[in-house]
């Protein structure tokens, strides 16, 4: 919930991650849409698969950190350290959401009792939150991998630009091959 550089909690992210997902269960309540056994089965399967994939992503983050420690390098860059830490917390939260969704979905299957309707609302709320969290995790993992690929002296610019500049068929690489010194050929 904090900006990448640290600082105060962003009000927009609070709105996006906690208030906006309330509209999903409210719509479900208004439309009187009930979860049946087939939908619950799909939700339990999807949440379980997401939990497993997210656990693998945690292992990937751990392998990045442990590989640096084995080399004796450690993670000295504060931006990279913060990105790994935020990703770790975000992934852990998404795994917790998956577990809550599975339990709430299983409670819906009882079909009797006061807990069925609130459990449905919990499934919709956390389902929307899981969608937003997975999007945020993908964004952070992309930034982390992009940052890891970039050379240490050029980490302020994106790795994609560095890869693109040296690829065959690009203007810079073609100029070097041709040995063009004329400015009219340069793009």
CA dihedral angle for residue 53, residue 54, residue 59, residue 62, rounded to 10 degrees: 160
Residue indicated by tokens 């991998």 = 145
Collect all residues with Cβ–Cβ distance below 8 Å to 48 and sequence separation of at least 6: 98, 102
Q: What is the pLDDT of residue 154?
A: 59
pLDDT score, position 176: 53
pTM, two decimals, is: 0.72
Tell which residue, 140, 32, 54, 142, has the closest CA to residue 101: 54
CB 151 within 8 A of CB 162: yes
The per-residue pLDDT for 174 is: 47
User: Hey, what are 110's tokens?
Assistant: 């009882």
pLDDT of 155 reads 54
Return averaged pLDDT per consecutive 10 residues of the chain, 187 residues in all.
63 86 88 89 95 93 80 68 88 96 93 88 94 92 83 54 47 49 47
Placement of tokens 């997401």 in the chain:
50
Distance CA 138, CA 99 (A): 20
Q: How far apart are CA 70 and CA 84, in angstroms?
A: 17
pLDDT the model gives residue 18: 87
């Amino acid at each position: 919930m904090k900006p990448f550089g640290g600082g105060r909690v962003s009000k927009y992210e609070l709105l996006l991650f906690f208030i906006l997902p309330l509209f999903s269960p409210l719509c479900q309540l208004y439309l009187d849409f009930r979860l049946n056994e087939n939908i619950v089965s799909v939700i339990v399967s999807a949440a379980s698969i997401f939990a497993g994939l997210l656990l693998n992503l945690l292992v990937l983050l751990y392998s990045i950190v442990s590989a640096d420690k084995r080399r004796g390098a450690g993670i000295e860059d504060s931006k990279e350290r913060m990105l790994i830490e935020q990703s770790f917390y975000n992934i852990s939260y998404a795994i917790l959401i998956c577990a809550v969704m599975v339990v709430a979905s299983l409670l819906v299957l009882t079909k009797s009792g006061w807990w069925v309707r609130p459990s449905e609302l919990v499934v919709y709320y956390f389902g929307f939150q899981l969608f937003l969290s997975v999007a945020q995790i993908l964004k952070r993992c992309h930034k982390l991998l992009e940052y890891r690929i970039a050379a240490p002296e050029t980490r302020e610019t994106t790795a994609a630009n560095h890869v693109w500049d040296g690829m065959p068929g690009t203007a810079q690489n073609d100029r070097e091959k041709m040995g063009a010194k004329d400015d009219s050929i340069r793009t």
